[in-house]
A and B are shown apart, each in its own frame.
Chain A
Amino acid sequence: MKKMAAGSSSNVNENIPVFEYKDINTKPFHVGSFRTAWLEKLKPIDYSYEDKYEETEDADFAKEMGIAPETLDELKAICSVDNLRCQAEDEPLDTNVVPPDPTLQTLIQRKKKQDYKGTLRIDKISRVDHYQDELESLAVGKRPEDPVDLVPEGEIILSINVLYPAIFERFKYVRPHMTLQMLGSHSLVDLRDAICCISDLQVFGEFSNTPDMAPDFISKDHFKSAFFYFEGVFYNDMRHPECQDMSETTIDWAKTRDFPTFHKAKMEDTRFYDLKVKVGYPYLFCHQGDCEHVVIITDIRLAHKDDCLDRKLYPLLTHKHRVMTRKCAVCHVYIGRWLTTNDPFAPNDPCLFCERCFRMLHYDKKGNKLGQFLAYPYVDPGAFN
């Protein structure tokens, strides 16, 4: 362990993240400098992926403390994990059985919960929910085949929550979001590309007269502008010539009011290392002109041996809330693809149809439109499940 060099970091070193509001978010700090601060304090072997040889470690220890090998052996025996075992050596521990007469409170509580579960009658187990929690562990410990793709030691991993735009009434107590893990050397455009929002797939336009032409226009291809807002700076996506600077309106408006001046930067030129952010604080991602997502950086840390170490797999999705898919109002079997309004054939306004029911009801065998109605292609919100 390295001894702290005197005066190398004072208490007011601003690269050390501290709480702005306790347990809620930190003060802003520069990500790259945070990484340097950690790397200064540690020896490379502390954060390397390699397994350390026990003999060298023991030898170092004995030398530093000046103790004899016999003492070392005795010490190792005392501090061994085997001393912590509560049951006999050859009995495997059964996690489902609570030992009788527990005095520990967690065990008492566990028994209560187990008994309670026994009284429940579970109607149906959704298979998707069953595997929902496993998403996190899919990529753990993965190494790439090509060593060039290995995440270098001492790299920063950020965990970012991107919340869905809050248009669902039901989600009052839950915050539906997706969690992405990114590397410090990624740029903001990598994050932008990894965010899946259904508004990107929306097709605009009324297609009752030309139902076969619908898939040609996707919003993602038309409206490519987007920006991130972190700590008073707007990062615009300027990769394509069609992209406009969406933040200009806001910046101009802010100048007329009593706001501190905002700055602009390019999304593709900014890496996470260059950012100055607060951990745990909500920021903004805006695309399609008005589709806004709240972005929170939940965690920043050094890479670890057990993380996914394949660069190609990043940005890594570790959590995603599932959205219910809306089905056809008629057959209730297929996913809804068309939304109709002012439709005399439909039981309510607006009404959702799948492709087959839509065609059967609104068009005759030759494909002529029957009656007067308006039809819009519908993108199911659960498209990314």
Chain B
Amino acid sequence: MPNGKAKDRFLKPLVADYEELLGRFQQTESVRFEEFTAIWRNMGFSSVFYFQIRVGGLYLLYGLYHTQLASPKEKIRIALKDWEQIQKFYQDSVNSQHYDAVYIIRKLITENAVLYTAMPQMLTFRVKKKPQHHKVCEEFRDRPERVKDLISTDMLQEVANIQGHHERLKASVLERSSIAVTQQDLPARLHSCVLEFLHWQDRHENHGDADHLVYAEEKAQQVESSNRAQLLASIKTKSYGCLAEASKSRRHRQVEMDTSISGTGYINEAPKYHKSRAPSLKARTNKNLCGEGDEQKIQYWLLSAAEEDKTALKRQKRKHSFRW
């Protein structure tokens, strides 16, 4: 009966996932629903997740799709490359007789909630944007190496030693060594069991290797990007380290040096509003080589404004901008 199962799995991971998701959503600094569904898709259908988490992701997508107030509704994007995994997930659900999950997938498709796309997100070649590293919640990850972790070679060695020790003790204590409490060849049997399981796993997990490669690649990229990030951070601290001191009358608006830009490898890419910043390389070169060219840009369109009326030229400055 799907009754108890559905309710449990509907509510519990829903709440947990939602909280987890919101932190990530905050980082995107946007209220675009497309970003939201993108993160969801990523989280819900990546191959490394537990089946339960994937089902939770599916339910969440379903809930979000239906409770959105926008019209026309924002669709769920499915890229061609992910279709196979979704099919596999569907098959798993069918085989395990999880009626609710199957029903919901079918419902989403028949309701035209799905957009069949080339890639999961629209790509506009924003190279400078910090790449979104989704911090995958460790608890959600699937452990295909569980068995290997449990029965490692060290552990087998230990078991063999203990077995040997036990045999010797038994031989020295008892005359009749025909009573055997433990299995004689326990380590060997454990080992063969594990090997058999691994072989079975390899046969069924046809993209296990690809995932490892991708993961290794990502790691390499992360290391690279964090090196570059550190380099950038050091350059920035150097340039923002020297600030022009404001004149006496403007001292109350003196800009303070922002010491938050330093060394953790995380860079705040948004340009901070400095009233007087250190001259850029271009400006310095210009000054040194070309001398003073045009002193002032004449604003042609405001010639009719009175000279005393400086406020006509300046935009009203906001006291503080919204901190997301």
Among residues of A, the one whose C-beta sits closest to the C-beta of B221 is: A22
Contact of B304 with A by CB under 8 A: yes
Identify B124's interface contact among A37, A85, A296, CB under 8 A.
Answer: A296
Q: State whether B2 touches A22 (Cβ < 8 A).
A: no
Q: State whether B80 touches A37 (Cβ < 8 A).
A: yes
Task: Kindly state the separation between the CA atoms of A109 and B19 in the bound complex, as whole angstroms.
Answer: 13
Q: State whether B119 touches A65 (Cβ < 8 A).
A: no
Task: Kindly state the separation between the CA atoms of A49 and B302 in the bound complex, as whole angstroms.
Answer: 55
> Per-position contact with A for B95-127: 1 when CB-CB < 8 Å, else 0?
001011011111101101011111101111111
Task: Kindly state the separation between the CA atoms of A1 and B110 in the bound complex, as whole angstroms.
Answer: 10
> Per-position contact with A for B287-324: 1 when CB-CB < 8 Å, else 0?
00000000000101101100000000000101000101
Shortest Cβ distance from residue A351 to the other chain B in the assembled complex, whole angstroms: 7
Chain B positions 37-96 with a Cβ under 8 Å from a chain A Cβ? 63, 66-67, 69, 72-73, 75, 77, 79-81, 83-84, 87, 90-91, 94
Q: State whether A78 touches B7 (Cβ < 8 A).
A: yes
What is the number of residues of chain A that contact chain B, defined by CB distance less than 8 Å? 78
**Which one, A13-21, A203-211, A252-260, A309-317, is touching chain B?**
A13-21
Q: State whether B303 touches A38 (Cβ < 8 A).
A: no
Q: State whether B109 touches A299 (Cβ < 8 A).
A: no
Q: Which residues from chain A contact B121 at a C-beta distance below 8 Å? A: 23
Shortest Cβ distance from residue B228 to the other chain A in the assembled complex, whole angstroms: 14
**Which one, A326-334, A356-364, A377-385, is touching chain B?**
A326-334
Known: A41-B83, A280-B125, A348-B300. A105 touches B26 (CB 8 A): yes
Known: A11-B207, A298-B123. A279 touches B301 (CB 8 A): no
Shortest Cβ distance from residue A209 to the other chain B in the assembled complex, whole angstroms: 25
Shortest Cβ distance from residue B116 to the other chain A in the assembled complex, whole angstroms: 4
Identify A105's interface contact among B1, B6, B19, B67, CB under 8 A.
Answer: B19
Shortest Cβ distance from residue B19 to the other chain A in the assembled complex, whole angstroms: 7
Identify A159's interface contact among B112, B122, B303, CB under 8 A.
Answer: B122
Q: State whether B300 touches A352 (Cβ < 8 A).
A: yes
Identify A1's interface contact among B1, B109, B221, CB under 8 A.
Answer: B109
Task: Kindly state the separation between the CA atoms of A46 and B72 in the bound complex, as whole angstroms.
Answer: 19
Contact of B3 with A by CB under 8 A: yes
Chain B positions 1-28 with a Cβ under 8 Å from a chain A Cβ? 1-3, 6-7, 10, 18-19, 22-23, 25-26
Q: Which residues from chain A contact B298 at a C-beta distance below 8 Å? A: 348
Q: Which residues from chain B contact A83 at a C-beta distance below 8 Å? A: 10
Shortest Cβ distance from residue B118 to the other chain A in the assembled complex, whole angstroms: 4
Q: State whether B124 touches A298 (Cβ < 8 A).
A: yes
Identify B80's interface contact among A16, A81, A329, CB under 8 A.
Answer: A16
Q: Which residues from chain A contact B22 at a C-beta distance below 8 Å? A: 104-106
Q: State whether A74 touches B116 (Cβ < 8 A).
A: no
Q: State whether A17 touches B115 (Cβ < 8 A).
A: no
What is the number of residues of chain B that contact chain A, defined by CB distance less than 8 Å? 70
Contact of A25 with B by CB under 8 A: yes
Q: Which residues from chain B contact A299 at a C-beta distance below 8 Å? A: 117-119, 122-123
Q: Which residues from chain B contact A127 at a C-beta distance below 8 Å? A: none
Q: Which residues from chain A contact B318 at a C-beta distance below 8 Å? A: 120
Q: Which residues from chain B contact A296 at a C-beta distance below 8 Å? A: 123-125
Identify B3's interface contact among A24, A47, A74, A141, CB under 8 A.
Answer: A74
Task: Kindly state the separation between the CA atoms of A279 and B119 in the bound complex, as whole angstroms.
Answer: 8
Contact of A301 with B by CB under 8 A: yes
Identify B67's interface contact among A84, A123, A347, CB under 8 A.
Answer: A84
Contact of A249 with B by CB under 8 A: no
Shortest Cβ distance from residue A24 to the other chain B in the assembled complex, whole angstroms: 6
Q: Which residues from chain B contact A280 at a C-beta distance below 8 Å? A: 119, 123-125
Q: State whether B116 touches A65 (Cβ < 8 A).
A: no
Task: Kindly state the separation between the CA atoms of A304 and B99 in the bound complex, as whole angstroms.
Answer: 28
Query: What residues make up the interface of A, taking CB atoms closer than 8 Å to B?
Result: 1, 3-4, 9, 11, 16-19, 22-26, 29, 34, 37-38, 41-42, 45-47, 52, 57, 61, 64-65, 67, 71, 74-76, 78-79, 81, 83-85, 93, 95, 104-106, 109, 113, 116, 120, 123, 137, 140-141, 159, 161, 173, 175, 279-282, 296, 298-302, 304-306, 326-327, 329-330, 332, 347-348, 351-352
Query: What residues make up the interface of B, taking CB atoms closer than 8 Å to A?
Result: 1-3, 6-7, 10, 18-19, 22-23, 25-26, 63, 66-67, 69, 72-73, 75, 77, 79-81, 83-84, 87, 90-91, 94, 97, 99-100, 102-107, 109-110, 112, 114-119, 121-127, 131-132, 207, 210, 218, 221, 271, 298, 300-301, 303-304, 316, 318, 322, 324
Question: When A and B form their complex, which 7 residue pairs have the shortest distance between CB atoms, in order from nearest?
Answer: A280-B123, A301-B117, A105-B22, A81-B66, A300-B118, A302-B116, A306-B72
